[in-house]
């Protein structure tokens, strides 16, 4: 069934008492009776007062599933990540290019700049990452999603390499490096999805895996999150 | 009475929200179409259009993208040429694509009252898609026969492979049959047809240089006498010369 149709039906049923009151208002206003109008406004007010928190709650859960929450994971937990960790809820997107068997992963580069040190680490957000079925048996899809996490870690290490090469502690310069790296990381993630077409093109997937793994190995010395000046 | 009004209002809302602006839908934002996409698209193109409704064509800038996507050979090559994928899997996909292609042939085969093809360029693009697909499909099939055989050099295995190649050549000959309908093509269509011979028949002979092309040569010679198009004649002559050159090498 059309999703717009379902939403309209729900809203129609929900607002049916309001519509009923509106009908009475129109009918009574011709007779000069203003009481139904007050009643109608009251109905309208309470309808929205109930609806708005529901919608807010719905949006929050869609962003982060607090009903099944798991704290963001750092890269050292990489090997333990399975689809069981993909706890996010998806209310709006039902398929990816017509394929209902899809997943996505949410990662980020988090930084904390102190007086003489910087902490940068890549995070994977289980409660914001989604898979259509938790117990699904697709190593390929999991592998594809997990390489998104590796790519974030790769760019985190790149940032640490650049910051470590600075002659002195410069907060503005560090912020600039992190900002640039975040931009590059997003671009790379998009290219990865485009070239592999979300793991459909296996030869491209393998090419990326080799590239990312070798680059990560080259930057092993930047594994630790903290850079001390 | 008022209840009826409410019901009518609700029905109106439902109707308005479920109205679709696009009459025909195609997954145009998808980079590669898979077998399922082809299934849906072919169904739409074969049965979703009114008999007097114009199908997507290369000449129409609005619908060009549809026929380009439909005949984009990358859609199957991205799977069939991917050596990271297993041979059986690729063979299965090739078989499914081949089935889809057979249904694709009915999309653009309409002729007008003067027996002219209405969509000759599009029909030929579908043909070319099929010729390239079959070359890959049969090669994968033969590779699988070799792989699953205890000894790929036995006479039995060689016979199976030769038989497959023979079938492939016969399938290619059906393309040459279209020369019998030469007058149904526009001038641009004849050029595209000749190009098809140049590209795909050469590729086939390059892939199986030792196969028996006597039937193809005879057919090309007969069609050479029949054709009135210089472009097609030139392509047929090139094909005959190519087969002869391979025969000389093999003797």
Residues A10 and A25 in one domain: yes
Scanning B120-154, the segments in alpha helix (DSSP H) are 120-148
| A186 and A222 belong to one structural domain | yes
Closest partner CB to B17 (pick from A8, A19, A202):
A8
- pLDDT higher than 70, residue B199: yes
Q: Say which residue, A42 or B76, is predicted with more confidence.
A: B76
State yes or no: pLDDT of B37 exceeds 60: yes
Instruction: Give ipTM to 2 decimals.
Output: 0.80
* pLDDT more than 70, % of chain B: 90
Residue B106 has pLDDT above 90, yes or no: yes
* Residue of chain B minimizing CA distance to A18: B6
* B93 vs B45: CA distance, rounded Å: 22
Q: Tokens 């009114």 belong to which residue?
A: B50
Domain borders along chain B are 2-250
Are A110 and A211 contained in the same domain? yes
Contact B14 A8 (CB under 8 A): yes
Does A36 lie in the same domain as A131?
no
Section B183-192 average pLDDT: 96
**Residues A107, A123 within the same domain:** yes
Tens-digit pLDDT profile for residues A155-212:
999 999 999 999 888 899 999 999 999 999 999 999 999 999 999 999 999 999 999 9
For A14-23, A89-98, B128-137, which range has the lowest pLDDT when averaged over its residues? A89-98
End-to-end CA distance of chain B: 94
Q: Give me the percent of chain A exceeding a pLDDT of 90.
A: 62
Q: What is the mean pLDDT of chain A?
A: 91
Nearest Cα of chain B lies from the Cα of A51 at a distance, in angstroms, of 20
A79: Cα separation from own chain's centroid: 21
Q: What is the pTM of this model?
A: 0.82
Predicted pLDDT at A136: 77
Q: Do A4 and B36 touch (CB under 8 A)?
A: no
- Domain containing A19 equals 3-63
Given A24, A41, A63, the domain boundary residue is: A63
Are A120 and A29 in the same domain?
no
CB pairs under 8 A between A and B: 47
**Residue A96 β-bridge partners:** A99
Separation between Cα atoms, residue B231 and residue B223, nearest integer Å = 13
Query: Is residue B8's pLDDT more than 60?
Result: no
Nearest by CB to A9, which of B14, B36, B82?
Answer: B14
* A129 φ, ψ (degrees, to nearest 5): -95, 145
Closest to A177 (Cα-Cα) out of A153, A157, A149: A157
Q: Assess whether A89 and A132 both reside in one domain.
A: yes
* Chain B residues closer than 8 Å to A2 by CB: 17-18
Please check whether residues A33 and A88 belong to one and the same domain. Answer: no
Query: With b meaning 16 or more CB within 10 Å and e meaning fewer, what string describes A147-170?
Result: bbbbbbbbbbbbbbbbbeeeeebe
Q: Quick one: pLDDT band at residue A1, thresholds 50, 70, 90?
A: low
Put simply, the answer to whether B85 touches A202 (Cβ < 8 Å) is: yes
Give A-chain residues touching B36 at CB under 8 angstroms: 98
- Do A78 and A154 have their domain in common? yes
Residue A219 has pLDDT above 80, yes or no: yes
Q: Which letter does DSSP use for residue B102 in this model?
A: H
User: Final residue of a domain: which of A11, A46, A63?
Assistant: A63
Could you tell me if A114 and A7 lie in one domain?
Answer: no
- Average pLDDT of B189-198? 97
Q: How many domains does chain A have?
A: 2
Name A182's Cβ contacts closer than 8 Å, sequence gap at least 6: A109, A155
Between A134-138, A143-147, B52-56, B185-189, the lowest mean confidence (pLDDT) is in A134-138
Find the chain B residues whose C-beta atoms sit closer than 8 A to any C-beta of A: 2, 5-6, 9-10, 13-14, 17-18, 27, 29-32, 34, 36-37, 78, 82-85
A154 and A173, same domain (yes or no): yes
Predicted local confidence at residue A205, as pLDDT: 97
Residues A176, A180, A185, A186, CA torsion sign = positive
pLDDT at B58: 96
Domain shared by A123 and A224, yes or no: yes
Mean pLDDT of all residues in B14-39: 80
Interchain proximity A23–B27, CB inside 8 Å: no
Do residue B17 and residue A4 have CB atoms under 8 angstroms apart? yes
Nearest chain A residue to B15 by CA distance is A5
CB A88 within 8 A of CB A127: yes
Contacts of B5 in chain A (CB under 8 A): 23
């Amino acid at each position: 069934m059309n999703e717009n149709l379902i939403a309209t039906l729900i809203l129609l049923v929900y607002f049916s008492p309001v519509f009923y009151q509106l009908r009475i208002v129109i009918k009574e206003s011709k007779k000069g009776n203003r009481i139904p109008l007050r009643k109608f406004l009251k109905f309208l007010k309470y309808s929205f007062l109930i609806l708005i928190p529901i919608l807010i709650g719905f949006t929050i859960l869609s962003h982060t599933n607090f009903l099944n929450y798991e704290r963001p994971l750092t890269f050292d937990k990489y090997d333990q990540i399975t689809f069981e960790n993909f706890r996010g809820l998806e209310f709006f997107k039902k398929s990816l290019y017509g394929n209902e068997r899809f997943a996505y992963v949410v990662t980020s580069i988090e930084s904390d700049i102190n007086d003489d040190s910087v902490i940068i680490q890549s995070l994977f957000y289980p409660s914001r990452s989604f898979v259509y079925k938790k117990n699904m048996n697709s190593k390929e899809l999991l592998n594809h999603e997990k390489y998104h996490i590796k790519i974030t870690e790769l760019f985190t290490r790149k940032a640490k390499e650049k910051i470590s090469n600075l002659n002195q502690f410069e907060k503005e310069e560090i912020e600039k490096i992190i900002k640039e790296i975040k931009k590059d990381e997003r671009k790379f993630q998009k290219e990865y999805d485009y070239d592999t077409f979300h793991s459909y093109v296996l030869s491209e997937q393998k090419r990326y895996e080799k590239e990312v793994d070798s680059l990560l190995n080259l930057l092993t010395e930047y594994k630790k999150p903290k850079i001390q000046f | 009475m008022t209840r009826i009004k409410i019901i009518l209002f609700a029905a109106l809302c439902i109707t308005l929200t479920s109205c679709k602006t696009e009459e025909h839908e195609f997954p145009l934002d998808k980079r590669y179409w898979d077998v399922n996409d082809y299934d849906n698209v072919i169904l739409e193109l074969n049965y979703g259009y009114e008999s007097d409704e114009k199908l997507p064509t290369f000449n129409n800038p609005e619908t060009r993208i549809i026929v380009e996507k439909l005949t984009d050979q990358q859609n199957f090559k991205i799977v069939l040429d991917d050596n990271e994928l297993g041979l059986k899997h690729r063979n299965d996909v090739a078989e499914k694509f081949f089935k889809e292609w057979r249904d694709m042939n009915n999309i653009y085969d309409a002729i007008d009252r003067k027996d002219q093809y209405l969509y000759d360029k599009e029909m030929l693009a579908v043909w070319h898609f099929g010729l390239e697909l079959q070359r890959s499909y049969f090669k994968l099939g033969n590779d699988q026969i070799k792989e699953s055989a205890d000894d790929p050099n036995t006479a039995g295995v060689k016979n199976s492979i030769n038989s497959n190649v023979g079938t492939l050549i016969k399938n290619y000959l059906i393309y040459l049959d279209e020369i019998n309908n030469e007058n149904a093509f526009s001038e641009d269509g004849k050029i595209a047809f000749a190009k098809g011979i140049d590209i795909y028949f050469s590729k086939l002979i390059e892939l199986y240089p030792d196969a028996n092309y006597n039937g193809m040569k005879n057919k090309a010679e007969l069609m050479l006498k029949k054709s009135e198009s210089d472009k097609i004649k030139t392509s047929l002559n090139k094909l005959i010369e190519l087969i002869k050159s391979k025969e000389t090498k093999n003797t």
